[in-house]
Amino acid sequence: MKELNINIPVEFKQESELDEQEQQLLAQAKEATQRSYSPYSHFSVGAAVLLDDGTIVCGSNQENSAFPSGLCAERTALFYANSRYPERSVKALCIAARDTSGRFTQRPVAPCGSCRQVMVETEYRFKQDIRILLYGLEGIYCIRSAREMLPVHFDGSFL
């Protein structure tokens, strides 16, 4: 038997350490939490996607009483970006969340597996890594690529 260890590098930054474009992306993700429709979980998530031309597209989680018919903020933003700007690649994606008390989460919130898979597919589609920023009050996780967050993923080569 052989054991594989898969490690990913994660930078841990404070908001002031982000460059101007990343700070703007973060501000948009935080603002997008206000547009969440989350009457069941009361957990509001906002995502902001930075396209290669500087356009920022936002999304928020959208719940539905018929679980699991809702959609996460990350996929909402990515699907909108891909449908509205199909020729534009995604450079970065930022996620922020408010907990059930309405305050931003202390720790950075990570995307679910389905969102990670969509992020990886978007990287393959445009042949470009997507920088991932995960916001929490205590700091921001900065990850170079969605593939690093889902190292054992499914892709078109399996079909």
**Sheet of strand 90-98, all strands in order from the earlier edge strand to the far edge:** 11-13, 139-143, 131-136, 90-98, 44-51, 56-60
- Assign 139 to helix, strand or coil: strand
Residue with tokens 């990343």: 22
Active-site pick, 22, 63, 74, 123: 74
Catalytic, 123? Answer no
Distance separating alpha carbons of residues 43 and 61, to the nearest angstrom: 9
Distance separating alpha carbons of residues 55 and 58, to the nearest angstrom: 10
| Residues tagged active-site | 74
